[in-house]
Amino acid sequence: MEPILAANRRHIGDFEVVEFVDEDQIARLRRQLDVDVPLELHWTWEYGSEVEELRALYERGKKGQWNAEEDLDWSLPMRRDEWIVEPVGGSLLGTVLGALGADEQTCRDAAWDELAHLFSQLLHGEQAAMQLCGQLVNCVPTMDQKWYAGSQVIDEVRHVEVFSKFLQRKMGTIYPIDPTLKVLLDRLLEAPTWETKVLGMQTLFEGMAVGIMDLVKRASRHPLINDMITRVHQDEARHAAFGVLSMRRLVREASPETMIELEDFAYGILETLNANQQLDMLHVLGPKYGLDPENVVQMMHGNEQWAYLNSEPYMHTVVPNLKRLGLITGRTEHLWREKGMLFGERLAASELPGV
C-alpha cells in the first residue's frame, strides 16, 4: 500500500512522520481553492422510508437543532491570562514548556495558542464536511440518506458558524489550514464514490472529531467551551452514526476485494493524519516558544505512555466503529498498533474477518 504524501515523509527515530517544511508547497496547497469533483447525481423515485434506522436518525436530528448565536452565552469573558484548559495535560505545548521550566504565563499563552490552532483546524474540517454533505445529497442512492445528508448540511453550517465566531470573538485569530489536513480533506472531497465519501468523512473524520472534542472538554476549564462542545458533540455523534449505518448496509453486500479496498482506504487516511504527530502545529507555534518540533516529537515518543496517549482519539469512536464494520482485520491490526493508533488487548479473533 503506497503511503499518502510519500514525498513528505522522513523518520524521527524509528517513527515515520509526515512533515511539511517547504513554505512554497504549503502556500500552494492553501491557494488551491477549487477541487475537481467527479460527482454523479442520482435520482430516486421512492419517497417512503427504505431504511428505518436512518429515518429515525433524521427525526432525532430535527429535534436536536440549536441556534449558535442565541443558545450560547457569548457574554462570558475569556482571558488569555487565565488557564482555560488544565495546566498539565490540557495542552502539549503548555505541558512541554512546564517540564522545561518555563514560567506559568508562558505556559498559559502556549496553551491558548494551541487551542486556537486546534479549533481553527476543526473549523476548516467543518467547512469540508458542509461541502461534502452537499455532495452526498446528490449521489447517495436512497431517499432516507438524502434526507439525512441534507439535514447534516445545516448542522455543518452551524458548526462553521459557531467555531468561526468563537475564534474571532473569544480567541482573536483563525489559523490557516494545516497542509496535511488540506491534502486529506481534498482527497475526501474529490473521492469518486459516495461510499468512500461516507467512510472518509462520516466514519473517519467525524469519529476523530468526536474523540478530539471529548479530550478538549475533559481538559477545559471554561463554561463557554464546555457548552459549545456539548452542543457540537451531540450533532457529531449523529453524523458518525449515519456513517456507520450507511456503511453497515454496504459491507454486508461487499465483495472481499471491496472490503480490502475500504480497509486500506480507512487505514491510509488515518495513518497519514497520525504520521504528522502535530508537526504542522509545532512548525507554526514551536518557534514562538523556543521549541524545536523534532525535539518535541522525540520527547513525546520517549514517554512510556505514548502509545496510550496517542491512541486516545482513535480508540474513542473510530477504531470501535471500524472494528464493528469489519474494516480492521487480522491483515491490518498490527499496522494500527505499530503506529500507536490502537492500544490495549488484541481484538478478539472472532471479530477479525482476516484471521
Per-residue pLDDT reduced to its tens digit, 118-173: 999 999 999 999 999 999 999 999 999 999 999 999 999 999 999 999 999 999 99
Question: What is the total count of domains within the chain?
Answer: 1
The CB-side HSE value for 235 (13 A sphere, CA atoms) comes to: 27
Q: Where are the beta strands (DSSP E) in the chain?
A: 9-12, 15-18
**Within a domain: residue 57?**
yes
> CA 239 to CA 158: how far, in whole Å?
14
- The SS3 call for residue 16 is strand
- Render pLDDT for 319-336 as a digit per residue (tens, 0 to 9): 999 999 999 999 999 999
**Within a domain: residue 98?**
yes
Q: Is the pTM of this model over 0.85?
A: yes
**Within a domain: residue 221?**
yes
Mean pLDDT of the residues in the chain: 93
Q: What is the CATH number of the domain that holds 334?
A: 1.10.620.20
pLDDT at 270: 97
pLDDT < 50: residue spans in the chain:
349-350, 352-355
pLDDT at 2: 86
Q: Which domain holds residue 213?
A: 6-351
| Cell (9 digits) for 314 | 482513535
